Structure 1
Amino acid sequence: MKGRGKDMDGKTPVISPIAIGEAGRAARAVVAVSDGRFPERCDIAVSASRIGGVEVRAASVRGLSHRHYGTVRQDEYTVVATPDDRWVVAALADGVSSGAYSHLAAEIVTRTACAVLTEELARNHPADIEWGPVLRTLADEVRGCAAERFGARDDREASVLMATTGLFAVVAAEPDARGHRVAFVVSVGDTSAWVLRPSAEPAWLPLQAVKNHDAAVASSATDAIPLVPDGPVPVITAELTGDEVLVLMTDGVGDPLGAGAGEVGESLATAWRTPPYAMAFAAEVDFARKSFDDDRTVVGIWPVPDSAER
């Protein structure tokens, strides 16, 4: 993977994105244009922390299409620890591109979800959380913002203005007596959760159905908050063993990853065998691959390695 090249005239050295397969011309030709409506909204967010027995890396990067058209990054993430460092709570959101204020929905959903889940975990084990009320709280917050700021009268009007997918995870920061770390995952829309097994084959195990896998015609349609589904909320429970990593991602990475068996899966599995340096992780999330230009957001949760050396 290359990180340095020359600009388009072939003379001046420049830093170029990491390429996986064919990068495409846009990866280096696009000139980033800021969105003057939201000057406070940064193009890249990145963080790294150790919580109990796990390392956490998170990065969100404005996609090439948004850089080109001068539109704001619509992805968002929030990661927190419970006060006792027993649980990691993570939320990712991918604002629906057609909504002019969907980045606000993404911010509201990730921050509110982590706050609500942290309060729940002070009273309940994750297995006992009632997710229906949690999702309805998120929908209420988005709906309330749309009504107060933009005059939306109902869920449909709110969702036109600001809507977002959501992926929520509660992960044990310490292994149990068997050496397993349990994770509870809930998803609204096409933001996806994976188990990365650096020492196994296949390396990538999806915790949900893979988007458009084996579909004759790819679709971009997805569920989105504030239109949360009625009825019971499916909760995925995963037990992570050994060096297995929980990786949460928006479809900006999920789409090129596919089912995990191609170039993107192989490259990221190699890069993320152990927790990367935070800035390297952001660069890896922002890899260049032809025709994939959406916002990119990934949260990875690794067991603390025996050595901090990468």
Structure 2
Amino acid sequence: MQRAGIPAWQRVVVDIPGPAFEPTPPRVVGDTCPDVECDGWSTAKVTLRSASVRGERHRYYGQPRQDATCAVAHERTGTVVFAVADGLSSAAASAVGAAEACRAAVWALHAQLDEGRPDNDFPAVVSFAVDMLHRSAAAISPRQDPEELVATTLVAGTARPGAEGIEVSLFRVGDSSAWVLDLTRPRFHPLFSGKTEGDVVATSVTALPSVPQTLEQWSGRLAPGQVLLVGTDGFGDPLGDGDGQVGAMFAEHLAAPPSPLWLGHLLDFSRETFDDDRTLLALWPRSEAR
């Protein structure tokens, strides 16, 4: 329907679309979880946009969105604290786990900034998130293994304004990932290793509340013309190496910060075989926000 000359938004299609159907409402598992969630704001130095959408598979089967994201600004330092999580489909209440992991990581990092720490203590953040996941699992089903209930990936970190730009530091547990989008080429530079090693595709995922022996971390500075992207594999899988149609679309629309609603609409693109939940958080240095 069109009113007052304003056209209704049409679903974004990349290549061959997936099947069209009206989504079924998600079952409530521990908490409510909307189909689509988006956020957007700016500090003096950084512009943030984020969106999380329920995938076609979960829409069809009436399952909740199992992705989550959370971000806050630390008022005194101007640091942006962020987290993205992807609940494992094998876990019965993974939507709860993803949301709780994001909240716990952001709270712990924010508390470290309050304490005036010059560097992030990521192992302490992971430990706190694990503790909160165990608490959540105990509240849902005290006798069930937390890994069977609330298992989730997690990427979290900070973007701190510095004398020479925005200093980014982040870690991950699981197969969610992060990229730096170089707008001058454009190219997507992955900050962590991918799912494949040669021709072998990894089939197992280390997920909280399990803790990996070695915590993957990355630190660096956002240069002019670069955007930090943090996303779940629902975004990363169709993106691939960034050289295809999905990469071209996002490089075009992320050249400047879009409206939060437009990012959510864009992220909800239809493409055959890609039906997972999708979450993407993007950070631009403020000088790049046009």
TM-score normalised according to structure 2 size: 0.91
- Equivalent residue, structure 2, for 1:263: 245
1:229 aligns with 2:212: yes
Give unpaired runs (5+ residues) of structure 1.
Answer: 5-12
Which position in structure 2 is the counterpart of 1:82?
Answer: 74
SS where residue 119 of structure 1 aligns?
helix
Question: Residues 30 and 64 of structure 1 are in contact (CA less than 8 Å); yes or no, is this contact kept in structure 2?
Answer: no
Partner of 2:148: 160
2:40 is matched with which residue: 28, 41, 48? 48
User: What is the DSSP-based 3-state SS (H/G/I as helix, E as strand, rest coil) of the residue aligned with 2:146?
Assistant: helix
Between stretches 30-39 and 246-255, larger displacement belongs to: 30-39
Deviation at residue 185 of structure 1 after TM alignment: 1.0
Q: In structure 1, what residue type is equivalent to 2:171?
A: V
Q: Supply the distance in 1 between the matched residues of 2:163 and 2:123 (Cα, whole angstroms).
A: 31
Query: CA offset at residue 220 of structure 1?
Result: 4.1
Runs of 4 or more, structure 1, over 3 Å off, are 13-16, 305-308
Q: Select which of 113, 116, 129 maps to 2:120.
A: 129
Q: Distance in 1 between matches of 2:257 and 2:117?
A: 27
Q: What is the CA deviation profile of residues 17-42 of structure 1, one whole-angstrom value per residue up to 9, with x for unaligned ones? A: 21122223x1xx22200124357321
Instruction: Pick the aligned partner of 2:261 from 279, 282, 285.
Output: 279
Q: Which amino acid in the other structure matches residue 12 of structure 2?
A: I
Which residue is equivalent to 2:192?
A: 208
TM-superposed deviation, 1:307 = 6.7
Q: Evaluate the alpha carbon distance shift between residue 273 and residue 23 of structure 1 in structure 2; reply closer, same or farther with a 3 A threshold.
A: same
Name which of 222, 226, 229 aligns with 1:247.
229
In 1, the alpha carbon distance for the partners of 2:223 and 2:137 equals 42
Q: Quick one: distance in 2 between partners of 1:66 and 1:190?
A: 19
1:170-218 CA distance string (max 9 Å, x none): 002x3x333x3110010000110100111125x11110112236434x3
State the distance in 2 between where 1:270 and 1:73 align.
Answer: 27
- Among 11, 18, 21, the residue aligned to 1:17: 11
Equivalent of 1:115 in 100, 104, 107: 107
One-letter code of the match for 2:196? N
SS at match of 1:133: helix
* Counterpart for residue 169 of structure 1: 157
Instruction: Kindly indicate whether the alpha-carbon contact (under 8 Å) linking 1:186 and 1:235 is maintained by their aligned counterparts in 2.
Output: yes
TM-score scaled by length of structure 1: 0.86
What does the per-residue CA deviation read over 1:101-144, in whole Å, with 9 as the maximum and x for residues that have no partner?
00111111101111110011122445x32222221111111112
Output the CA distance in 2 between the equivalents of 1:223 and 1:20: 31
CA distance, structure 2, for counterparts of residue 274 and residue 196 of structure 1: 12
Residue 15 of structure 1: how far off its partner (Å):
4.7
Q: Which amino acid aligns with 1:98?
A: S
SS of residue in 1 equivalent to 2:157: strand
| Aligned with 1:72 (options 55, 61, 64) | 64
Q: 1:7 maps to which residue?
A: none
Contact kept, 8 Å, 1:211 with 1:255, in 2: the verdict is: no
2:136 equivalent to 1:145: yes
Structure 1 Cα separation of the partners of residues 205 and 181 of structure 2: 24
Give the fraction of aligned pairs with identical amino acids, expressed as a percent: 32
* TM-aligned CA deviation for residue 286 of structure 1: 1.1
Once superposed, what is the RMSD of the aligned Cα atoms? 2.1
In structure 2, relative to structure 1, the CA distance for the partners of 1:237 and 1:177 (3 Å cut) is same
CA drift at 1:66: 0.3
CA change 1:74–1:150 in 2 (3 A) is same
Change (3 A) 1:115 1:36: same
- Tell me if structure 2 keeps the 8 A contact 1:213–1:259: no
- 1:211–1:258 CA contact under 8 A, matched in 2: no
Q: Is the 8 A contact 1:18 1:286 kept in 2?
A: yes
Using the TM superposition, name which of 144-153 and 180-189 deviates more.
144-153
- Distance in 2 separating the partners of 1:15 and 1:279: 11
